[in-house]
Amino acid sequence: MKIKLLLGIILSLAIFSSASAQPLDKAKLDQLFDRLLEKNKGMGSITIAKDGKVLYTRSFGYGQITETIKAPLTDQTKYRISSITKMYTAVMIFQLIEEDKLKLSDRLDKFFPQIPNATKITIDQILSHRSGIPNVVPDGSGMQPRTEEERIAEIARLQPDFEPGSRHLYSNSGYVLLGYIVEKAGGQSYQQALKDRIVSKLGLQNTYMGTGNTNVARNESLSYRYVGGWREAREPDFSIVAGAGAIVSTPTDMVKFIQGLFDLKLISQNSLDQMKTMIDGEGMGMEPFTFAGKNLYGHTGGSSTSGAWLAYYPEEKLAMAYTTNAKIYPVKDIVNGVFDIYWNRPFEIPSFDVLKINPEILDQYTGVYTASGAPVKWIVTRKDSTLFIQQESGSAIPVEPIDENKFTITTGVMLEFDTAKKQMTIKRPQGERVFTKEN
């Protein structure tokens, strides 16, 4: 009886090991990215690595598109990784703490006494987005370069969102200040600190703090949106996002970074544990993810239509980095599909078939729409089975139906029609506005 039981256990383990060791379905991953490009739902690059060894890497789409140029993305193309920069900033803060140049309990007034509540705000509160430091709202010139003094003055003019430590609210401004603190406490520029403290230690080849704006001469990918064709999207000057979002990198460098972080090549286990400790769903420069029922660590980033995702699964020493310069199909859905394919879970490649709406219904939406106080009129027209929208002096842009009365223009922008009220609502991440159809 014991022998039968032992044989059963051995057989079960053998089956489990065989299932868990299935080869990565690279062909299915290729199909996913081919479909995204074919249907104009995204462009970008991805790297998957296990225990420091690259298992899969792929680039699809273009880093620069003009009438005469279509420059393909490659594994050497660098992307804005935006808020993933916060992980690098947090690592350097913890390095300075380990060198006794900083303390988590240090108050912000040690560096920037002009910031409201600076005598109450601590480094650990800024790291964990519990400082109450508000985000600067763009004033129309938000894409233009800023000096450190200008950025600090912008932040100092705003009233705190809440008392330090009382709750959680994501703050880019807090990490901008942390980037400056890296410079003041360490005695070197952020760019040099990044090179000495992270890049050189891990042998990264394509990671640095961006300067000015995206530069194709440095093989940095421009950002694009799809509105009947690929159109370049504006991005903020790197000086604006600074230590909160100014790093450019490649997925291959990014997986090396997070592997090196968890291998304790950058900070101690105690510091890593503090980064990983989640309060209100946020660590210190680190975020938690759940894919396929497994708990991962990392960070996400997004700016205009560019985006990035960095995730690590400690139990398998599995790292995944995805970067995109055309954030159209939700990045989370792409990453979720990648992990389903990796772990051999059921996953169907999206078809992205366009919903067909009866032209008679579309005709009910056509017309000129205005709103009190709005500086522009919107003109909605139809050609065949496609609806178009344009400003009076602009060109017509096709919109894609997601429901009978709902349409997308580009990333994060949606139209919703109410024929009974003769209204069109334009919904954006920053808010929505209702326009009424003229008679």
CATH code of the domain containing 419: 2.40.128
Domain extent for 316: 45-342
CA distance 214 to 77: 12
Question: Is 184 in the same domain as 269?
Answer: yes
Say yes or no to pLDDT of 235 above 80: yes
pLDDT per residue as tens digits for the range 4-58: 544 454 444 444 444 445 799 999 999 999 999 999 999 999 999 999 999 999 9
Question: Is 163 in the same domain as 87?
Answer: yes
| pLDDT for the residue 4 | 53
| pLDDT for the residue 428 | 84
Query: Is 35 among the domain residues?
Result: no
Question: Is 324 in the same domain as 421?
Answer: no
Question: Is 70 in the same domain as 218?
Answer: yes
DSSP letter for 100, please: T
Query: Is 318 among the domain residues?
Result: yes
- Name residues whose C-beta falls within 8 Å of residue 300's C-beta, 6 or more positions apart in sequence: 83, 84, 287, 307, 308, 309, 310, 331
| pLDDT for the residue 1 | 47
| pLDDT for the residue 189 | 98
CA 231 centroid distance within chain: 20
Query: Is 21 among the domain residues?
Result: no
CA distance 311 to 292: 13
Question: Is 328 in the same domain as 368?
Answer: no
| pLDDT for the residue 364 | 96
Q: What is the DSSP string of 221-258?
A: PPPEEESSSEEE-----HHHHHHHH-EEE-HHHHHHHH
341 touches 48 (CB < 8 A): no
Question: Is 176 in the same domain as 232?
Answer: yes
| pLDDT for the residue 351 | 93
Query: Is 13 among the domain residues?
Result: no
**Which of 342, 376, 394 is where one domain is finished?**
342
**Which of 342, 377, 400 is where one domain is finished?**
342
Amino acid at 163: E
Amino acid at 118: A
CA distance 348 to 318: 23
Question: Is 405 in the same domain as 280?
Answer: no
437 touches 367 (CB < 8 A): yes
pLDDT per residue as tens digits for the range 286-334: 999 999 999 999 999 998 889 999 999 999 999 999 999 999 999 999 9
Split into its structural domains, the chain has a count of 2
CATH code, 337? 3.40.710.10
Share of the chain above pLDDT 70, in %: 94
Query: Is 433 among the domain residues?
Result: yes
Query: Is 209 among the domain residues?
Result: yes
CA distance between the termini of the chain? 87
pLDDT-based confidence at residue 392 (cuts at 50, 70, 90): confident
Query: Is 286 among the domain residues?
Result: yes
In the Cβ-directed half-sphere of 169, how many Cα atoms lie within 13 Å? 14
Q: What is the mean pLDDT of residues 390-415?
A: 86
Question: Is 394 in the same domain as 315?
Answer: no
Question: Is 306 in the same domain as 433?
Answer: no
Would you say the pTM of this structure is higher than 0.85? yes
Question: Is 79 in the same domain as 144?
Answer: yes
Task: Please tell me which residue, 77 or 4, carries the higher pLDDT value.
Answer: 77
Q: Estimate the crossing angle of helix 172-186 against helix 148-156, to 10 degrees.
A: 130
Nearest CA to 298 out of 199, 307, 314, 243 is that of 314
Query: Is 157 among the domain residues?
Result: yes
CA 378 → CA 329, 369, 375, 389, distances in Å?
26, 5, 10, 7
Question: Is 305 in the same domain as 387?
Answer: no
Say yes or no to pLDDT of 139 above 80: no
Please work out, in degrees rounded to the nearest 5, the angle formed at the alpha carbon of residue 212 by the alpha carbons of 136 and 224: 80
Question: Is 367 in the same domain as 299?
Answer: no
